[in-house]
């Protein structure tokens, strides 16, 4: 009997990662034999953990906080979308080095446009944050056809750097957090900050929300998404979406890269959503 191919997600903290559960479900659904584990690694251990994984026959890794930029930096080759993000969440061992991809932005757009049937084209979009999560989704939001992408970050220099890297000065521009009141209203607001992990309330102006058709998205899920989504509903957003669908879709993109098959994400998403709802009710 041949040993199943090895895959894993690496991050810190990693104990609560849903990726092993998602990839196991995809493997069952597609009949592909694999193992997929979670590996905890501190930043200083990252390179050594990857070397050990390859030495043990590992083929592919998902990379999550806080390693996505580091992962990209050690790739011998990378997709344009990983280069645009300067961050990789999907590593594939080629035999001589790592190939890097970033499936986060594609996962987000697929969740919003195909599962939820939102049309992103022509929307004026506010992107809050300029860290790894924001960099992963920004190029794909432009590709999806938003009319403007206004990037606002607590540390203004990071927003400037992100917009410079996007290379579309006519559509993607940085603005100051202190000027949020003066930016007008938006048809889409994406929270890519870790604000919700630190604070129970987000003090954003309600005037950011275009009445009747604003889509609010938090890239995180569970407890971390609660403050922003509560704000979005109170502010009158037409829809307020967490990052659970994006998580499942980015995993499907990684799965397709590794195994050449796109899994049906519907059943896994439905199961995780039911679990998340049950946990929220139990709180
Ligand atoms: P990630 O990979 O999740 O993006 P990150 O690179 O550490 O992680 O970025 C966290 C983001 O949340 C940054 O945009 C950060 O702003 P700074 O660049 O100014 O640090 C933002 N953030 C974190 N705490 C915040 C807070 N209390 N208010 C506003 N933004 C915050």
- Sites in the chain below the pLDDT cut of 50: none
> What does the H/E/C string look like for 4-48?
CEEEEEEECCCCCCCHHHHHHHHHHHHCCCEEEEEEECCHHHHHH
Q: What's the whole-model pTM score?
A: 0.95
> Cβ distance 90 to 103 under 8 Å?
yes
What CA–CA distance (Å, rounded) separates 152 from 181?
12
The response to whether residue 63 sits with its C-beta less than 6 Å from ligand 1 reads no
CB contact set of 194 (below 8 Å; sequence gap of 6+):
129, 131, 220, 224
The response to whether residue 65 sits with its C-beta less than 6 Å from ligand 1 reads yes
Q: Which residues sit in the known binding site for shikimate?
A: 17-19, 64, 89, 104, 221, 250
- The predicted-structure confidence for 160-189, as pLDDT tens digits, reads as follows 999 999 999 999 999 999 999 999 999 999
* Topology (CATH level 3) of domain 105-244: Rossmann fold (3.40.50)
Indicate if 105-244 has the same CATH topology as 5-104+246-265. Answer: yes
Specify the 3-state DSSP secondary structure of 92.
strand
What CA–CA distance (Å, rounded) separates 24 from 46?
24
Q: Which atom of ligand 1 lies at the shortest distance from residue 68's CA? A: 2
How many angstroms does the Cα of residue 116 sit away from the middle of ligand 1?
Answer: 27
Query: Hey, whose CA ends up nearest to atom 18 of ligand 1?
Result: 155
How many angstroms does the Cα of residue 2 sit away from the middle of ligand 1?
Answer: 44
Q: Which atom of ligand 1 lies at the shortest distance from residue 134's CA? A: 4
What CA–CA distance (Å, rounded) separates 54 from 59?
7
The conformational region for residue 214 under phi > 0 = left, psi -120 to 50 = alpha, else beta, is: beta
Residue ranges per structural domain of the chain: 5-104+246-265, 105-244
Q: Which atom of ligand 1 lies at the shortest distance from residue 193's CA? A: 12
The pLDDT assigned to 283 comes to: 64
The alpha carbon dihedral of 264, 268, 273, 274 has a sign of: positive
Query: Hey, whose CA ends up nearest to atom 26 of ligand 1?
Result: 195
The pLDDT assigned to 92 comes to: 98
Domain at 5-104+246-265, CATH class? alpha beta
How many angstroms does the Cα of residue 195 sit away from the middle of ligand 1?
Answer: 7
Specify the 3-state DSSP secondary structure of 247.
helix
Q: Does the annotation mark 68 as catalytic?
A: yes
Closest CA to 146 of 187, 107, 176, 113: 187
CA geometry: angle at 82 spanning 246 and 268, to 5°?
Answer: 25
Helix (H) or strand (E) holding 216: strand 215-218
Q: Tokens for 258?
A: 């590794």
The pLDDT assigned to 90 comes to: 98
**Catalytic-role residue among 6, 23, 67, 68:** 68
Mutation pick for ligand 1 pocket among 152, 156, 194 (CB with most ligand atoms within 8 Å): 194
Query: Hey, whose CA ends up nearest to atom 27 of ligand 1?
Result: 195
> Cβ distance 262 to 255 under 8 Å?
yes
The pLDDT assigned to 3 comes to: 81
The pLDDT assigned to 281 comes to: 81
């Amino acid at each position: 009997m041949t040993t199943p191919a090895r895959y894993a997600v690496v991050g810190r903290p990693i104990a609560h990662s849903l990726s092993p559960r998602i990839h196991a479900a995809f493997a069952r659904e597609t009949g592909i034999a694999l193992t997929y584990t979670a590996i905890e690694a501190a930043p200083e251990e990252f390179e050594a953990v990857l070397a050990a994984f390859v030495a043990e026959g590992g083929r592919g890794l998902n990379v999550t906080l806080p390693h996505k930029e580091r992962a990209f930096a050690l790739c011998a080759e990378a997709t344009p979308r990983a280069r645009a993000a300067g961050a990789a969440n999907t590593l594939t061992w080629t035999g001589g080095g790592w190939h890097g991809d970033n499936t986060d932005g594609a996962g987000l757009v697929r969740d919003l446009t195909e599962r939820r049937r939102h049309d992103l084209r022509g929307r004026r979009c506010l992107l809050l944050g300029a860290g790894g999560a924001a960099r992963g989704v920004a190029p794909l939001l432009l590709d999806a056809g938003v009319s403007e992408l206004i990037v606002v970050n607590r540390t203004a220099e990071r927003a400037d750097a992100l917009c410079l890297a996007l290379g579309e000065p006519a559509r993607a521009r940085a603005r100051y957090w202190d000027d949020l009141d003066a930016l007008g209203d938006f048809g889409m607001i994406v929270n890519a900050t870790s604000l919700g992990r630190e604070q129970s309330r987000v003090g954003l102006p309600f005037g950011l929300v275009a009445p009747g058709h604003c889509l609010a998205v938090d890239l995180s899920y569970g407890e971390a998404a609660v403050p922003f989504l509560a704000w979005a509903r109170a502010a009158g957003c037409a829809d307020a979406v967490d990052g659970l669908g994006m998580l499942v879709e980015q995993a499907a993109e990684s799965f397709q890269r590794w195994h050449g098959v796109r899994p049906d994400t519907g059943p896994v998403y439905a199961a995780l959503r039911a679990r998340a709802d049950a946990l929220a009710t139990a709180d």
